[in-house]
Amino acid sequence: MARDYYGTLGVKPDATPEEIKRAYRKLARELHPDVNPDEAAQKRFSEVTAVYEVLSDPQKRKLVDMGGDPLGGGGGGAGGMRDPFGGAGFGLGDIMDAFFGAATGGGGGRGPRSRQQPGSDALLRMELTLEECLTGVSREFTVDTAILCDQCQGGGCSPGTATQTCDTCNGRGEIQSVQRSFLGQVVTARPCPVCRGFGEVIPSPCAQCGGDGRVRSRRTITVQIPPGVADGMRVRLASQGEVGPGGGPAGDLYVEVDELPHDTFEREGANLHGTLRIPMTTAALGAVLQLKTLDGTEELRVEPGTQPNTELVLTGRGMPKLRSSGRVDGRGDIHVHLQVEVPTKIDSKQAELLRELAALRGEEEPELATTNGRGHGGLFSRLRTGRR
C-alpha cells in the first residue's frame, strides 16, 4: 500500500509548493535531533525529510498523484512506481516513452542530482523576564551544529584530489533497463547504486568529514533580542542553522522567547494589568500612592470616593509595541485595578468610630435601591411589612 505523502506533511493534495515547504519547515523544527533527541522523533524526522524531497520534485510529485510510491521498494527503486501488471517499476517519463515509442535506447533522463543540499533549520529557546522583554537583551549561546568542513571546503574530497565521473552510470546519476510489455518497450530508471544518483564518485574522501562536506562543531553565537518581544515570538538568524550535505547552504536559526511570569503584572499585548489593594479609608479620603513599575516608581492618584473595581491607567508605561518589521512604535499602558479592602476584624474602639461615622452620614439603617428612585423605608422595615 502506497504511503500517504500529503498526510505525512499534513497538507492537502492540491497544496502549493510554498505550502508544502512551510509544512515541512514546521515539522522539521519540531522533530530535528538537536531539538528533540527522542528516537521516535528522529525516525519521524527522517520520514518527513524523505517525503518532502519527493513532493518538492515536480516529476516525483506527479508519480505520487498517479498513485505511485517513489520511496517504495521493488524494481522501481527510489524513483519508480510499481507496475500493476507485475513488472518492475517505471517512471513518468518511461510511461510517455512507452506510449510514443521513444524509449528504445535511453530516452532523456532526469540527470544527476547535486551533492549540495540545503541545511536544516535549528531552534533554541530563551527564557526572559518581563523586564528583559521590555528593554531587549543580548546573549551568547553555544550551539552544536553542522558546519562547513575546513579541510575540503564542502567538496568531500581529500586535499589535492577531485571527484570522478561514475563509470557505472557514465555521469547520468541513474541506470536504465528496458522491458517489454503489452504497451511496448518500457524503460525503467533508478538511481545509480554506486554514486547514489550524483553522477560522480569520490575516490579519496576527506579524512575529516568522510566525504559529507560538513562536520559537527560547537560554536558561540550572539543573539540580539529586540525590545517588546512576547512569549512564543521567534527571532530569526539567517544562515545560522545546519550546513547542508556537500557544503550546501545553511538553514536558519530560530530563537523562541519563553516569557516568565511576573510577580505584579499580567501582560496583554503591549498593555500590562495589575491589581492594587487599598484600605476603605484610602478609597474614601483619596491619596497619592507610589506605584513600582518596570521603569521605576510612578505616582498614582486615587481620588476621594473611589469605588471598588475602579481602573486607573498609566498611559505609555506599558510594553513597547513591536511591529512585524522589527520597529518599535510607542508603548502600551499600565491598567491598575483597584480592590477596596473592608476590614474583617475591628476592635471596640474602631467599631465605635464607625458607628459615629454611620450616624453622621445617616447610615444606621440601609435602604434597598429602587428602579424608580423612591425609597420605601429601610431594608428590615420592608421585610417586616412583607412588601415585594
Binding residues are 149, 152, 166, 169, 192, 195, 206, 209
Helix (H, G, I), strand (E, B) or coil at 66: coil
Burial of 128 (0-12, 13-18, 19+ CB in 10 A): buried
Helix (H, G, I), strand (E, B) or coil at 53: helix
Q: And the C-alpha cell for 341?
A: 479592602
Q: And the C-alpha cell for 59?
A: 516529476
The DSSP output letter for 248 is B
| Cβ–Cβ under 8 Å, residues 244 and 251 | yes
Q: How far apart are CA 325 and CA 39, in angstroms?
A: 38
The annotation places the binding site for Zn(2+) at 149, 152, 166, 169, 192, 195, 206, 209
- What is the crossing angle of helices 17-31 and 39-55, to 10°? 160
Burial of 49 (0-12, 13-18, 19+ CB in 10 A): middle
Query: Smallest Cα–Cα separation from 320: which of 147, 130, 82, 126?
Result: 130
* CA-based max dimension of the chain: 113
| Cβ–Cβ under 8 Å, residues 185 and 178 | yes
The DSSP output letter for 101 is T
For residue 378, the one-letter residue type is: G
